Amino acid sequence: MSLSPRLSSLPYDIYLDLFAYLDSIDIFNLLCSSKLIYSYITDERIWRMLASRCGVTDISAFQPDYTWHDVYTGLLHKYGGLLGLWASDYAYRGNILECRINEDGNWPGIICEVWQFALATDQHNSRDPWLPSYVESFHIRLNRPDTEDDSKASCYATLHWYSPAHWYPETRSGVTPSLLLLSETNQASFIHVPVQGFSCISQFPDFPPENAAWYDNDNTLPRLSRELSHEHADPKKFFTKDALEPSCYLYLDTVDCTFPAALSFDIPEGCHAQLTLHQPYIPRFFDDFRYTYHPQDRTSLISTTDRYYPLRRSPPLDNNPSMDWSPQRLVGIWLGAYGPHGTEVLYIDWQPQSNEVWAWKITGDFNVPRGAITWRFNVNDGGNKVPAGSFGDLKPSASFCGIGTISSVGFLEYGQDQVPMYIAICGQNEIYANWLDMSIISRYRRYMGRQLSSEVVNGSERKPVFGL
């Protein structure tokens, strides 16, 4: 539909103001509605504004070969929604995916990396959190038109998956992984464990829970075709006449709540490197129950499709060391030490109505999984209620009585418990937790983001030189 003469005669600055209220598709349709308006399609101000909605305000990594128009139309329009952090609902452990603009200069585009934490046995002190390594899973490369003499040709993006032997583009269906956008679902993960001849079924914590503070509602999601979420598997197929007792397994089933659309991956069995990245190793902890599960036996564990949800970054803070703490200033992403489980990712949230601080597990372990509240405290429960010396020689800014979540292996309902604990606030970037029943004092540090210039690159992996 073409514009009326009256609208097409408006000053162009009016259109620029109007574009601020339209999405990219509406802007493009408006530009194509008139020859006069279409002449402005190369105006860099338009595409710079649209790129800023994806969080991209600098394209020096793409210059001098690419303009704002090239970067947005060829890359960000479809894949800009990937930029940021993503949290997976993978059973027990969860996972973190980070997508960012590649600044190395070897190719222009978006690089997507999985956070990997070293095992506690490989670290100097299992009571201190450690920064992760960042291992590349895939990247999206911006390319020039194949034919330079075609003035109408556009830049385009290609997706490349990591393999230990080589990089391969997403061209061979069934051989390489696929990037998916799954629709909303009302199915959640459950675990079935036979206990003394009875079936014990427990639901994993909702991920994300309703109105989760860590869920980034501002993320627009990548522009991929939405696919229907997988139907739940029939648990009865795991029972056989020859089995002495049913296997321990995970499965999906329908629940009352609805989980939002999510990023996901279809990873064929042969892509071991990608399976290792997105489905971290589950040890033989079920051996503690003397059941039949084995980590290499994928038939005894339903491989539910992992869903990645946008993870809200920490709000900006004034990093003045003399700045006193407040509950609001604790909000954001933290790293915490969990003994033999190593470092785990938390999101700390403040509930102003109840004046409570909650620490959500974004990644977890086989005792207390992702999605659970690992500890919480009421800001009113402080002062003289915490005995002096509860944290040794530490002199916290404030200390509180709190409640912590513990569990036996598996996070089954009969093995969960809420225990008293003390929380020590040491400024806005450091917290200590005294788990009284276990006589363990754990340290938590705010995740301050990355310093790419201080990371050591080894193939597809980047490691921070400095610790927290």
Coil/strand/helix, residue 393: coil
Other beta carbons within 10 Å of 264: 21
**Res 184: pLDDT:** 94
**Res 406: pLDDT:** 96
**Res 247: pLDDT:** 62
**Res 45: pLDDT:** 94
Coil/strand/helix, residue 167: strand
Band (pLDDT 50/70/90 cuts) for residue 297 is very low
Contact 429, 445 (CB under 8 A): yes
Whether pLDDT at 287 is above 70: no
How far apart CA 77 and CA 80 sit, in angstroms, is 6
CB neighbours of 322 closer than 8 A, spacing ≥ 6?
none
Q: What is the pLDDT of residues 159-178, one digit of tens each?
A: 999 877 655 555 444 578 89
**Res 283: pLDDT:** 57
Return the C-alpha torsion angle 390, 396, 398, 404, nearest 10: -50
The first and second tokens of residue 369, run together, are 């999984």
Return the C-alpha torsion angle 333, 339, 342, 343, nearest 10: 10
Candidates 426, 401, 152, 167; CA nearest to 271 is 167
Residue with tokens 């790419």: 452
Contact 274, 161 (CB under 8 A): yes
What pairs with residue 113 in β-bridges? 98, 136
Local structure of residue 94 (DSSP, 8 states): -
How far apart CA 372 and CA 354 sit, in angstroms, is 19
| pTM as predicted | 0.89
Please provide residue 357's backbone torsions phi and psi, each rounded to the nearest 5 degrees. Answer: -110, 125
E strands of 321-372, at which residues?
A: 332-337, 343-351, 356-361
CATH number of 327-446: 2.40.128
Candidates 8, 155, 191, 176; CA nearest to 77 is 155
Q: What is the percent of the chain where pLDDT is above 90?
A: 50
CA distances for 45 relative to 14, 24, 326, angstroms: 13, 13, 40
**Res 2: pLDDT:** 55
Q: What is the percent of the chain where pLDDT is above 70?
A: 82
Whether pLDDT at 290 is above 60: no
**Mean pLDDT across the stretch 268-295?**
62
Band (pLDDT 50/70/90 cuts) for residue 338 is very high
E strands of 84-196, at which residues?
A: 84-88, 95-101, 109-116, 133-143, 156-162, 167-169, 178-182, 185-195
List the chain domain ranges.
1-41, 184-262+282-305, 327-446
**Res 98: pLDDT:** 98
Mean model confidence pLDDT for the chain = 84
Spell out the alpha helix ranges (H) of 249-322: 272-278
Angle at 311 between CA 306 and CA 315, to 5 degrees: 170
Of the given ranges (90-99, 100-109, 164-173, 210-219), which has the lowest mean pLDDT?
164-173
Candidates 304, 309, 190; CA nearest to 255 is 190
